[in-house]
Structure 1
Amino acid sequence: MILAAVALWPGTPPSALAQPAGGEAAQDYAAKVRQMQQVIELQQRQLQAQQKQLEQQQQMLRALQEQVSGLVKAERQPAATPAPAQAAAPKTAAVPKAAKQAEEDWPGSFAVAGSKTRMALGGFAELDLIHDTGAITSPADFVTADIVTRGATKAEGSDGQTTFSVKATRFWFETRTPLEEGRLKTFLSVDFFGDPQSASPDLRLREAYGELSRYVFGGDLLVGQTWSTIHYADAWPNILDYEGPSAEVGQRLPQVRWSRAVGQGLTLKLGLESPDDHIIQGADALTTWPDGVASLEWLAGPLKFQGSALLRDLRASQDNGPSESALGWGLLANGNLGLPWLHKGDNLTFSLAYGQGMGSTINDAPPDAYYNDTDNSLEVLPVWGYYLAYEHRWTENLTSVILYGGLYVDNADNQPYDSYHSSQYSCANLIWQPASWWVLGGELLWGERVDKDGASGDDTRLQLTSKFIF
């Protein structure tokens, strides 16, 4: 045992070991001792290498511990007091992990350096090739109120006209910033419909607003210019014409809107909107009070529905004379009904509106009221309109829509004979989207305008569209 221990002790020379007597036996024993010494030296080298690796790992571990300690210390330190110039900046803080991940997963968005804001840009470049067989003074969009009813000239298209238009081309950008409570969203978009009576592009602001989510009494607060609270985007039919049905209700205008979910599938929307779009025939429109709008959206399975009510103060003055006022009001029901039992992807979109003094909220924009200068009275004009559209999905990227609608005004007795009385709007299309960034389509439209005295005009239009989305 002692001899074995000495033999295995590092650095013990062979001469220190007892050697057996005899020549051959001694030689064999010496060879074995040398063999064992070589094994011992090899193990020593391996142990030294392992010791060196262990020391390196310990150094790395100490470095990591120092980094973690530094991060914890920095996190516990109070935030520095912002400079006065930054005091008005939006207050932001950490948001729940799920919300933060949702922001980061916003498709196409990118982070704004030095802030928690993310931004996205987009739009499309559109060319519309349009041919009209009748006279109409809106060559780039099919406004049935602009169909000429009497004395049509060749300049207005009495012999037909062809238009190439890029006015529908659009650009937008949006930002989203997480706040301590909710989120701030800003949105701005422009197109080129600044001059509706010309085919030439003219830059125009469409929307510019900010919206605070879950910020005021648990609801969303929107401030700026966007679609009216009575407008319902889900009821908009999938058509190529920029204008849309003559009876479509809801313009883009400055407003303040509050909305909040009030039940399962129910959302209440309350808005105060600019009255600057009031149309008074025969006098100057005055703007004393904003329009008030209340809408209730209901989502139930395949049905998306919104009911709305509008109240407005109509005022007018002729030649700076006495002001006359009247109450305008309107009721609106519109929606979208999916038809999965008929065919996957098919749907109906519909709208029904009735009111008095609400004409300017509608696409064809007949007057809200007529100023009767014989007795200096303001007569509100009753109006009602509707449309129904059916969309069929032939394939995943090929769809068609067929649509019909109408708008009717109950004219005042003293209104001029050529005042707007009614219109019809119809269209059918085929739209193909060969790629996510390209839309091609063709659409056939027919419309008619009728005046108070019965004079009428109609137009048939063929529109071919190419849209590149970016």
Structure 2
Amino acid sequence: MSRAGDFLLKLAALLALCGALSGSAAADDDIKALLGAMSRQIEDLKQQVAQSNQRIGQLEQALKVYKSEQQSPKANLVGAAGVQPVPASAAGAGNSKEKAVVTVGDTKGTFKIPGTDTSLGLGGFVKTDLLFNSVSAGRDRLGDQQLIMSQIPVGAAGERGQVTFLAKESRLWFKSFTPSEWGDVNTFVELDFYGDPATYSYTPRLRHAYGSFGHLLAGQTWTTFLNASALPDNLDVGGSAGALASLRQPLVRWTEPFTWLDTPMEGLLALETPRSRLWVDNHLETGTANRAAAGDPNLDAAYWTTPNADRYPDLVARLNLNPEWGNMSLAALGRQLRYTNSSNGYRQDAWGGGVNLSGRINTVGLDNIRFMAHYGKGDARYVSTTNTFADAALDSHGAIELSESYGAMLAYQHWWDKQWRSSLTYGFAQTDYPYYANPVLTRQVQSLHANLLWSPVSQAMLGVEYTYADRELIDGRDGVLQRVQFSAKYSF
């Protein structure tokens, strides 16, 4: 029984005793003894209450310090009691309940790294493709795995009725978000398995690797010249013949958001890695010319040189318009093309550039139109699929002349319902070379994509796509590719 209960019993006994012994002389001594005992118990109770109040105060102070640390994890301040906060690792050594735990991050799909403000996320997808090609691009070539316009064979060359299975487009990505007084520090890294063109080799390839600090981004990602949101929703990862190349390269970019006429806008300015891609007349040998005349499909870039003589970065500026009905962007590119010959000390250079208008416009329901239109001189590296056109040509005397490139892409995406959707995409691109350029260079390309995609849940997609692509050379010969592609994609 507690001391308070005992005290109450004695008090009741005292009252009873007083009633029973009223008027008795011996009762006085008994009452005095009982009152003395009760007085001592009252003092004990007062001490207990004081100790309890002191303990409650200590616990309340500790709770305040804990809440303060949770709201400001980076603070390393001395507590109100003058005791330095104990690190989670040290506290956990004595009590497993105090060990740091993983918590939900600041951004959906992320988690906090214990002891830091950094939110970390990871994800990706597994994608398997089954392709039936009307003609093969050649042994272990990317043209059998995705649309590469420059690898479409011309004439009678190429294996007919070729089948390819692959899962190279499967991806894995990591991202992080860390708040700071100077702005958010974010990173993103993404890999796929297209590092080796061999059909059955799965070499990891770096797609994106960049970090951003406030408005400044640095690393490898989509070129600023490309509005990636305008790319069509196709199963084929190679891209449309008329769209800009899906080019990812190292760059440094500043993005400045602003509002004009109540419309959100962005201004982007970037310095990007340069790479001149030239056709050189004296690189054409007799044996190579004979192979080209026979329609050898392995000569798509045999006449090009990419000299390591670039002196200035490519300069790109873009203006984004982001209204409620979609987005539009206008981009401009300026670059120097430069050629040197170490054997004779010859140097030649020229300045070129291009413009690009692209966007995505919402129509009815979830339907939308996506488009691109571009023109330039010396910007062929940014045009169409990989290695389709050359930026410029050098004649036998070393004079450099820029090629003129232009093209467009138009796609319409229709949602049959929330699970089924289709896209129809047409693209066209052409490059005009000087008269002395070799006639086996690609002059014009076009492609048509049509697909039907089914997503019963957000993490899964099954689809089928038909592709028609045509490649025409300067000499008038052409090659046609027809492809049926089945794909299964599972995201995580």
The whole-number CA distance in structure 2 between the counterparts of 1:70 and 1:434 is 49
Candidates 422, 442, 453, aligned match of 2:475: 453
Q: CA 1:69/1:161 → structure 2, altered by over 3 Å: closer, same or farther?
A: closer
Q: Which residue of 2 aligns with 1:148?
A: 153
Contact 1:357–1:368, Cα closer than 8 Å, also in 2: yes
Q: Which residue of 1 aligns with 2:329?
A: 306
- Which of 300, 312, 317 is the matching residue for 1:294? 317
Range 52-61 or range 360-369, more displaced: 52-61
The alpha carbon displacement at 1:74 in A equals 2.3
- The DSSP-based 3-state class of the residue aligned with 1:63 is helix
Any conservation in 1 of the 2:384–2:429 contact (CA below 8 Å)?
no
* Separation in 2, partners of 1:357, 1:75: 65
Q: Deviations over 1:434-460 (max 9, x none)?
A: 222211111011000000011001011
Q: Tell me the residue number matched to 1:223.
A: 218
In 1, distance between residues paired with 2:367 and 2:188?
A: 31
- Answering whether residue 255 of structure 2 is matched by residue 254 of structure 1, we say no
1:371 and 2:394 matched = yes
Which residue identity lines up with residue 113 of structure 2 in the other structure? V
2:348 is matched with: 324
Are 2:393 and 2:400, in contact at CA under 8 Å, matched by a contact in 1?
yes
AA matched with 1:280: L
Structure 1 residues 334 and 124, CA gap change in structure 2 (3 angstroms):
same
1:74 is matched with which residue: 67, 75, 78? 78
- Match of 1:133, SS? strand
Q: Which amino acid aligns with 2:264?
A: G
Letter in 2 for 1:270: L
How far did 1:197 drift? 6.0
Q: 2 CA distance for matches of 1:234 and 1:111?
A: 30
* Residue matched to 1:354: 375
SS in structure 1 of the partner of residue 135 of structure 2: coil
Deviation at 1:11, TM superposition (A): 4.1
Cα deviation for residue 187 of structure 1 reads: 1.1
Name the structure 1 match of 2:279.
281
Counterparts of 2:158 and 2:163, CA distance in 1:
15
Q: Decide whether aligned partners of structure 1 residues 63 and 372 sit closer, same or farther in structure 2, where only a CA change above 3 A counts.
A: same
Deviation of residue 55 (structure 1)? 7.4
Q: Distance in 2 between matches of 1:369 and 1:274?
A: 18
* Aligned equivalents of 1:380, 1:371: Cα separation in 2: 9
Distance 1:121 1:55 in 2: 54
Q: 1:162-213 CA distances to partner (integer Å, 9 max, x unpaired)?
A: 0001110111111111111111111111111123464532221111111102
Query: Do 2:468 and 2:480's aligned partners in 1 also have CA atoms closer than 8 Å?
Result: yes
Structure 2 partner of 1:438 = 460
- Between the aligned partners of 2:181 and 2:157, the Cα distance in structure 1 is 61
Q: Does the 8 Å CA contact 2:422/2:451 hold for their aligned counterparts?
A: yes
Q: Residues 7 and 148 of structure 1: is their aligned pair in 2 closer, same or farther, counting only changes over 3 Å?
A: closer
Distance apart, 1:295 and its partner CA:
0.3
State whether residues 379 and 391 of structure 2, in contact with CA within 8 Å, keep that contact through their aligned partners in structure 1: yes
Relative distance call for 1:59 and 1:140 in structure 2 (3 A) is same
> Which segment is superposed worse, 159-168 or 260-269?
260-269
Q: Is the 8 A contact 1:141 1:243 kept in 2?
A: yes
What does 1:226-237 align with in structure 2 at a 5 Å threshold? Answer: 226-237=221-232
Give the AA of the match of 1:178: P
Deviation at 1:113, TM superposition (A): 2.7
**Correspondence list, 1:41-440, <5 A:** 58=53, 61-67=56-62, 74=78, 104-137=105-138, 138-154=143-159, 159-196=160-197, 198=199, 200-213=201-214, 220-250=215-245, 251-263=247-259, 264-276=263-275, 278-282=276-280, 283-285=305-307, 286-318=309-341, 320-321=343-344, 322-339=346-363, 342=364, 344-364=365-385, 365=387, 366-373=389-396, 375-440=397-462
**Partners of 2:48 and 2:126 in 1: how far apart?**
63
Please list every run of 5 or more consecutive structure 1 residues that lacks an aligned counterpart in the other structure.
1-5, 19-46, 81-102, 214-219
Once residues 331 and 210 of structure 1 are traced to their aligned partners in structure 2, the CA distance between those partners, rounded to angstroms, is: 27
Letter of the 1:257 partner, please give it.
R
CA gap of 1:398–1:79, structure 2 versus 1, over 3 A, is farther
Q: Give the CA deviation at 1:143.
A: 1.5
CA distance in 2, matches of 1:392, 1:236: 15
User: Size of the alignment, in residue pairs?
Assistant: 400
* 3-state SS of paired residue (2:59): helix
In 1, the alpha carbon distance for the partners of 2:445 and 2:65 equals 74
SS of the aligned residue for 1:265 comes to strand
Would you say the 8 A contact 1:120–1:174 is kept in 2?
A: yes
Q: Deviations over 1:351-377 (max 9, x none)?
A: 00000011111233310001112x311
The separation in 2 between residues aligned to 1:356 and 1:405, in whole angstroms, is: 19
SS state at 1:10 partner: helix
TM-score, with structure 2 as normaliser:
0.75
Question: Counterpart in 1 of 2:34?
Answer: none
Q: Percent identity?
A: 29
- SS state at 1:74 partner: coil
CA RMSD across the alignment: 2.9
Contact 2:176 2:186 in 1 (8 A): yes
The structure-2 alpha-carbon separation of the partners of 1:15 and 1:449, relative to structure 1 and needing over 3 Å to count, comes to same
Alpha-carbon deviation of 1:8? 11
Cα deviation digits, residues 305-353 of structure 1 (max 9, x gap) = 01000000001134644111111110000000001xx3x1000000000
Distance change (3 Å), C-alpha of 1:231 and 1:348:
same
SS in 1 for 2:150: helix
Cα displacement (A) at 1:68: 5.1
Q: Which secondary structure does the structure 2 equivalent of 1:259 belong to?
A: strand
Q: CA deviation at 1:398?
A: 1.2
CA distance in 2, matches of 1:69, 1:153: 76
CA change 1:131–1:315 in 2 (3 A) is: same
1:85-129 C-alpha deviation (Å, 9 max, x unpaired): xxxxxxxxxxxxxxxxxx934122112233221211111111100
TM-score by length of structure 1 reads: 0.79
